[in-house]
Structure 1
Amino acid sequence: MNSPDDVRQQLDAVDYLVDDGLAMAVFLALRLGKPLLLEGEPGVGKTAAAKALAAALNTDFIRLQCYEGLTAGEALYEWNYQRQLLAIRLAEARQEKIGDADLFTAEFLQERPILRAVRYEGRTPPVLLIDEIDRADDEFEALLFEFLGEAAITVPELGTFTAVRPPIVVLTSNRSRELHDALRRRCLYHWIEFPPPSFAAEIVRRTVPGAAAPLIRSATEFIGRARRLELDKAPGLAETIDWVSALTALGVTDLVAADVVSTIGTIAKTPDDRLAVARLATEEPS
């Protein structure tokens, strides 16, 4: 990808639309070899951006889903304890001595997503998505500093593995907590805004190609109005796509208030939000 325009065109070819800001952020991340931290409300397409980038580059997509309590063994690497135990028993059966130097070797090392990305041997580096990093503990972020800064992972028993071709790293955050400054310094940054109705309509059209044009237009306009309400969880693009998909499955071609109420569970996810969105629907001309 030789320019921001090239980024936009190649992502457009895999049906992921980007604005100028995101196109520039992706281009610079690729050109500088820096991780890209994407933040924004849930459902604006942060995860989809990493998937689309992998598709556009025709390379492997590796995903690490973060959650509270995530450990190095689940994210970086761990030892195959069953194979180690089997090796110990075989050695005992043969009356042979076996020590740590025999057990902690590459033969017994199990790659998890980050080490797999570091040791990847394909011609084009993989896209590694570290998804919802804000859900992991503060301590887990510290485990990433070496990797994010040097594309390397140190295994104390074996030494340091450094990527021959550093993976393309995308981190996402919904800002459920503040991230360490040290992590932010290692990344380029972009905030993904919820798109205006016309842009959202084009995204929905590509994602739900069977939907009628009037339905897409009226649904995205309605979502824009709903997002101006004081909702517990404003509907994002993901909810908009789900909603239009549901309406299309029901044979709806143009939106009326009754359609909003009957499918409200796709866009409103709390009791208070259901009431507020239903009230908005009945206030709209049908």
Structure 2
Amino acid sequence: MTEDLQRRFAEERYLADEGLLTAVHLALSLGRPLILEGEPGVGKTELAKVLARTQNRELIRLQCYEGLDAAQALYEWDHPKQLLAIRSCEAEGRPVGDLYADAYLMERPLLRALRTPCVLLIDEIDRADSEFEAFLLEFLSDFQITIPELGTIAAVEPPIVVLTSNRTRELHDALKRRCLYHWIAFPEAERERAIIDARVPGLADEAAASLVAAVTGVRALKLIKPPGIAETIDWAQAAKLLTGEGAPWPLALRRSLGLLLKEAEDTDVVLEHAEALGL
């Protein structure tokens, strides 16, 4: 089964290692939500997108943030639309009718995920408050909600759930126990080279090799924010563009460091080691 997943992921240019493929396989087979943790840019969110495409399901994304509550994630009633309907009926002398019909219900990601076979991406769950995390635990246990005006709505088909976390805070043990957990580490050099070849076609072999070696060296430095795979791809694309405009390869890498590093202090550190990194 992991071989089939690997093939389908590779067709989407997502090159996962054996550990991640096994975690996805088990999550699909056991019907368990999958928590993915790792540094920003290692492919957590992208995995959910690829999984939706390979499973022929819609991707529904709930972006978490501080202050997110159940109503914002589940549903809201369209009060302005209800009020407009009331006024229109009063003006025309018609009965108001049911103000809590589906026409007035605004689906948020979690309710929509119950009504649509999908991959539900709960992105950056570590940014949400503990109270929302507790509510989410109940939702993931039953895959149903109760709307007082409509009754209980259960999932048409349990969604495939992927939660991501950048580990800005620790998740509750109760949530982790409910899910299958996997840490996505930075890729080894060989796999990162394969990712570059897949995502930045036409890059010369020598250039790709030197870029991967430079990224590996950069991550070994003491940085505020080590670059992820996404930044490596951006850096490779930018350097390739600059070399096409006549810049020598090492100079192209230095000029496009802003796509690899996002902190001024990190850029200073890398430039101090530029010669050793081949920049």
TM bin, normalised by shorter chain, reads over 0.9
Q: Secondary structure at the match of 2:152?
A: strand
2:263 to 254, 266, 270: 270
CA distance in 2, matches of 1:166, 1:284: 48
Contact 2:242 2:252 in 1 (8 A): no
Alignment of 1:97-176 (within 5 A): 102-120=98-116, 125-176=117-168
Question: 2:118 is aligned with what amino acid?
Answer: P
The answer as to 2:252 corresponding to 1:259 is yes
Structure 1 residue ranges without an equivalent (≥5)? none
Contact 1:215 1:255 in 2 (8 A): no
Contact 1:38 1:190 in 2 (8 A): yes
What are the superposed Cα offsets for residues 183-216 of structure 1, whole Å, 9 maximum, x if unpaired? Answer: 2122111101111111011111111113222222
CA distance in 1, matches of 2:57, 2:132: 27
CA distance in 2, matches of 1:93, 1:158: 28
Contact 1:4 1:24 in 2 (8 A): yes
Q: TM-score, normalised by structure 1?
A: 0.90
Q: Secondary structure at the match of 1:78?
A: strand
Question: 1:11 is aligned with what amino acid?
Answer: F
CA distance in 2, matches of 1:58, 1:268: 35
Q: Residue 215 of structure 1 corresponds to which residue in structure 2?
A: 207
CA apart distance, 1:96: 6.9
What are the superposed Cα offsets for residues 137-156 of structure 1, whole Å, 9 maximum, x if unpaired? Answer: 22221221232112212223
1:248 to 220, 225, 240: 240
Contact 1:257 1:284 in 2 (8 A): no
CA apart distance, 1:93: 3.1
CA distance in 2, matches of 1:209, 1:175: 33
CA distance in 2, matches of 1:244, 1:63: 28
What are the superposed Cα offsets for residues 43-70 of structure 1, whole Å, 9 maximum, x if unpaired? Answer: 1000111111111122211111111122
What are the superposed Cα offsets for residues 208-232 of structure 1, whole Å, 9 maximum, x if unpaired? Answer: 1132222221111111111011100
CA distance in 1, matches of 2:118, 2:153: 16
Please identify, of 248-257 and 159-168, the stretch whose mean Cα deviation from structure 2 is larger: 248-257
Structure 2 residue ranges without an equivalent (≥5)? none
Contact 1:204 1:241 in 2 (8 A): yes
The answer as to 2:78 corresponding to 1:80 is yes
Note the aligned Cα RMSD (angstroms): 2.1
Contact 1:146 1:152 in 2 (8 A): no
Contact 2:28 2:160 in 1 (8 A): yes
Contact 1:214 1:254 in 2 (8 A): no
The answer as to 2:22 corresponding to 1:24 is yes
Contact 1:260 1:278 in 2 (8 A): no
Q: Residue 206 of structure 1 corresponds to which residue in structure 2?
A: 198
Contact 2:196 2:208 in 1 (8 A): yes
Aligned residues: 278
Q: TM-score, normalised by structure 2?
A: 0.92
